[in-house]
Every structure is written in structure tokens, then in C-alpha cells.
Chain A
Amino acid sequence: MKRLITLAALAIVFGCGSAQAQYTDGIIKIGVMNDMSGTYSDLSGQGSVIAARMAVEDFGAAAKGMKVEIVGADHQNKPDVGSNVVRTWIDVDKVDVIVDVPTSSVALAVNEIVRDKNKVFLVSGAAASDLTGAKCTPNTIHWTYDTWALANGTGKAIVKTGGDTWFFLTADYAFGRALERDTAAVVEKNGGKVLGKVRHPFPGTDFSSFLLQAQASKAKIIGLANAGADTINSIKQASEFGITQGGQNLAALLAFITDVHALGLQTAQGLIMTEAWYWDLNDANREFAKKFAPQDKGVHPTMVHAGVYSAVTHYLKAVEALKSDADGKAVVAKMKEMPTDDKLFGKGVVRADGRKIHPMYLFEVKKPAESKAPWDYYKLRATIPADEAFRPLAEGGCPLVKS
């Protein structure tokens, strides 16, 4: 049955691809690949395609004589499906740059293919910090956030306010393991202790059993190293089983504004989370959200969407400067050389290991009474300055850094 679904999906993907495969040298082709139907489709999905399109429009590509085309595809959170799409895109459809790709296991697979084919890979949705660590390549830039930054933001803040014993509930794949590893390191470095962990299959539905194990550990903090619907269900069920009332606290290590929306403020209030971007932080962001939401069924942009916008903008600048998109390595080198500057992320840089550097923000979810409008969900607790927000260059173990 699964194969049947996969085949049908591939047929659709290939169908769309070949219909638009009239490549001429003048076209810059952007492939936005992510989860368009599953657990991550609200936080990335069609919204990322919209964000990419807005970036191309705001850049004024048409007026500058650059012909840009955007294609989208669903990787269904499966590395094999994602790899097939990317190979077809690059070999047949002449796609020049792959953007977004949440689900770290898929992103790590794409990372290798893009390097082999010498194209460009701009990661917004995926989290594993390995993408700029041991697995870094000269063709990949990790744009929006990563597991190290999340751990450093949320983990540190919680340990410093007394949450010094932890139990992890981890999604059993590349992302969950990376997030658990990076957070455990932060907890221990700041004097906390990890009492235990349980790894649940991805995606899961019932977490009560795992939550009871977490409860039995007597840890002060239950760290949720999962994402999307898994996080939503974990939080919902934790409140049902009286875990938070019992004195233990939850740390949603990766949560998006779409998750808070799905939970409702009644359940989500008080959660602390680290994000790279929030639509209500300043006027430029609000204006972007106002344009974005009507195109995406009222969904307000997540940091992943904003990251796609910012990454595509910088990519177009580099290609414009080079007057060529042919050599992926050269484009990425140019992107690292030029400082970044766009209306959503402001000024920043791309580091030698491919890590985009900008401030991160620690938010707290508002109480229902504090929220004045739909999607008014966060209070800013702290700004983590750009030079502290990401893993120091020397500690990642990226081979590109030594040379």
C-alpha cells in the first residue's frame, strides 16, 4: 500500500516537473521541497513556495532582466522520496537551487546529492546542526536555525532559572537525536543533569506512555526533542495527565507558531521557546505577514517561511553579482563573501561552515487574556545576540573550516 502511495505521489511530482522543464540558459530555477501533506506542512509546505515567490517579486528580478522560476514538491518526510525528487529536478528539470527541506533525515540526504551535482542547497526547515558540522559542504547554507541554537536558547534559559534535571522525549530520527544531543550538552555544561530519555517512533500519536516514564523519572524538566504534530500531542497529553500540575515543566525545544495556534493558548500558555523570527516583532515583519497570510489560508508566516524569503533574496543577490548560476560552489562562496541584508532578518553574515548568523529570540507564549488579536501569541523574553546564538565556528568539526 505504501508503495502504491509513493508511486502515485511520484507520478504527480514527475508530472508537474516535466510540464515545466523547458530549460534555457537564461532561467534561474528554484526548487522548494518540503512536507506538503504531512505533519510539517503548515510550518513549511505551500507557505515556503509563497515566501520564495514574494522574495523573487520584492527583489525585482523581472525588472533586472533575470528570469526566475519556482517549482515545488512534496518529499513526504522520506529521504528516498526526497532524493529522487532532487535528482530529477537537477538532472532533468535543470533546477539550480534547492530550498527549505524540513526533516533532517531528508535534508542530510539532499545535502550529499547537491554537493555531488555542484548545485546550491539553502536549508530553512531542517534543524540538525550536523549540516554545518561534520556534514558541512561548500554547496550548503543552513539559514534559519539549528538544533544547537535551540538548545543554547531554550536549554540555557531553563537551566539558569532552576530547571536543572532533565528527561528527554525524543523523536527517533536524525533531527530528534541531534536536538537531544545538543540540548544535553548545554544542560550539562550549565551544571544540570540528564536523568534519562525515551525515543518514540516518528510520527507518533499517543505519547501518554512515554510521558508516564518521564513522570516516573522525577526530572524537573521534560525536554521535548520532537516537532510538529508530535510536539502538539505531547503537550496536550502532558496537560491531560496532570504532569505540569504535578510540578514538572515541559520544554518544547522546537515549536513553531503554527503549533501554538493548533494547541490554543489555553494549553500552550507559558511555554518557552527559541525562534529566529516572529511576525509581530517589528513593522517590516508585520507588513510581510499581512501580505503572506491571505495567500496561505490565513496562516501567519513561521520562521521557516521567513528564512526561505531571506535565503532566496540573498541567493538572487549573489547570482546577480556573479551574472551566473552555473557553478554552485562559486555561488555559495559569493553568498559567504557578501554580507546579508534583507527586510526580515536585517544585517548578517554567512560563515565559512555555511552557518547563517543572526540573533535568536527567546519567547514565552502569552496567556489567553494577554492575546489581543488572532496569532498574537508571543512575548519576547530575551534576545540572544548573533555572536552567541550559534555554535562557535571551531566547535562544529566542519572540514571546510580547517583549510
Chain B
Amino acid sequence: MFELLGISSQALFGQLLIGLINGSFYALLSLGLAVIFGMLNIINFTHGAQYMLGAFTAYFLLQYAGLGYWWAIVLAPVVVGLSGIIVERLFLQWLYKLDHLYGLLLTFGLALIFEGTFRNFFGSSGLPYSVPSALQGGQNLGFMFLPNYRAWVVVFSLAVCLTTWFVIERTKLGSYLRAATENPTLVRAFGINVPRMITLTYGFGVALAALAGVMAAPVYNVSPQMGANLIIVVFAVVVIGGMGSIMGAILTGFGLGLIEGLTKVFFPEASNTVIFIIMAIVLLIRPAGLFGRGA
């Protein structure tokens, strides 16, 4: 086998695969953000907290209702999505006509409140949640040991991402949604209930965050800060991909996962910053992002 800068191809393949796994979390989260920003023009800073809520809901379902992972993956997005709908009805719907900054501040404040409340009751070390029995163990790929659960994460999140893209870009429902953001008055004139559609879109975006949270629960610890650590990176991903671009969010999510994975091998100390360096460069060259339609 060949070698690259002193690192064997085996190690390299392993690292690329891990990058892809992390990338699938980035993709799933940035997808939700992109959907919300594209349709509502809201920069949803609560996204990290909603991801955390998804993981906690999975934990509660197991602990208090005896419902395992497969139930959680269905129920948690629904529950957290509904909470998102309440947030939209109570707060966000008043902000659409104002500057982005108001939405950002409101959602940021909500995130702090959610995270603070959970920290108060559950502490910061987190709670254990184990991999579902059907996905325990792993495959020896020769160059690395791939846990079954991680393989599932990649496949499942890819499927969710592509389905979402398809629904929004290629179906009639999606065309209504896109039309409603372009010109809500005109779409309303055709007899379509635009505010309800927007509320449901927000609920869907939040449900995507919760889904990512359920998938993260067995891998990372279920802890109140799990979203806060991730959300800044995910925002960088969205900015690089281009605000509001669905495919852009998916592709950059996976792509940056790969780049981060490689940084962890060649220069581990910089693995936290590499995404932001890329963001700065992209903003200099293409201010609208790689896939953005431009202002």
C-alpha cells in the first residue's frame, strides 16, 4: 500500500471515513438551518439546543417510558418539532418583517434558556445512552474497525438529506414553499395558507435537529452543552455552503467533515479552527457562499 506524508493509506482511509461520519451530523444540522433560513429568513440559533432536546427526549423515552432507540428516532423529532411549532407561533411569527438580527437574538436567548434549564436539572457531565442492540458490534474493513452504528448514521442521514432536498426542490409541495418565500402575497391569492406552511416548515427544520440529536445520543454523551459545542461549526458550514441553499448545506456538511478529519491527522491542534479558516477564505472569494445564489 502507498504512503502519504508518513501516514499509511490504511490510516488515511479510516480517517476519511470518520470525517464522513462527522460530516453527516454537520449535513443534517446545517440542512435544518438552511431550510429554516431559506423559508423563514430566520437565523435559528436555537438549533443546537433543539438538537440537545432531541437527545434528551430519547433519553427520557428510554428512562421513563421504556421506549428504545427505534421509537425515539420517530417520536423525538415529532415531540421536539411540536415544541418548535409552539416557539414559532409564540415568538418567531412576529419577527419575519424585521431585521435578521432580531430573530438571531431571540433564538440565541432561547438557546441559553433551554441549555441553562437542562444544566440546572441534569448537570454538565451528561447521561449515558447506549447503542441499540441491533446495531452493536462492527465490521472489520481491513483498514479499520467500523462500528455498525456509525455506518447506520452515514447511510440514514444521507437518505434524510436527499429526501429533504428532493421534496423541496422537485415536488409540488416544495414549489409552493419556494414560491411562498419569493412572494407570499401572490401565493396566498391562489388560496394557499402561507402562515401555516411557514409554521410547519419551522417545525420540520426543528425536527431535523432533533433527529440529529437522537442519532448523536449513543455516540456522544447526552449533555446540555452537546449542541452549543456543535452549533458554531454548523453555522460556519451553512455560511460556506451559502445561506439558504439546500444542496449546498448537504455537500459542504459532508465535505467539511472530510477536511476536518484530515486535519486531525496532519495537524490535530488546528482541527477546531480549520473550518473557520475555510469560512474566511470562502467569504473573501465568494461572499454568497459556494452554492449561494448571490444577493
Contact = CB atoms under 8 A, between A and B. Distances in A.
A253 to B, nearest CB: 18
B22 A206 contact: yes
B128 A262 contact: yes
B143 to A, nearest CB: 10
B132 interface: no
A172 B229 CA distance: 17
A259 B125 contact: yes
Contact of B221 (A43, A216, A262, A297): A262
A199 B219 CA distance: 21
B147 A37 contact: no
B149 interface: yes
Contacts of A40: 124
Contact of A241 (B19, B145, B261): B145
Interface in B48-97: none
B252 interface: no
Interface band, chain B:
35 or more
Interface string A251-276: 00000001101111011000000000
B271 A200 contact: yes
A38 B124 contact: yes
Interface in B224-244: 225-226, 229-230, 232
A241 B14 CA distance: 11
B126 A229 contact: yes
Interface stretch (B173-181, B262-270, B279-287): B262-270
Nearest to A204: B272
A42 to B, nearest CB: 4
A262 B223 CA distance: 9
Interface string B103-131: 00000100000001001010111111011
Contacts of B19: 209
B138 interface: yes
Interface stretch (A13-21, A115-123, A232-240, A386-394): A232-240
Contacts of A38: 124, 225
Interface string B186-228: 0000000000000000000000000000000001110101100
Given A210-B264, A213-B265, A299-B123, A236 B221 contact: yes
Contacts of B124: 37-42, 45, 229
A205 B230 contact: yes
Interface string A22-47: 00000000000000011111110100
A240 B123 contact: no
A204 B225 CA distance: 12
Contacts of A206: 18, 22, 220
A259 B226 CA distance: 16
A191 interface: no
B125 A210 contact: no
15 contacts: A1-B108, A38-B124, A43-B125, A172-B269, A199-B268, A200-B264, A204-B272, A206-B220, A209-B18, A210-B264, A212-B14, A213-B265, A229-B124, A242-B147, A264-B128
Interface of A: 1, 37-43, 45, 172, 198-201, 203-206, 208-210, 212-213, 216, 228-229, 232-233, 236-237, 240-242, 246, 258-259, 261-264, 266-267, 297, 299
Closest 6 pairs (CB-CB, A-B): A264-B128, A262-B125, A201-B272, A209-B264, A42-B125, A41-B124
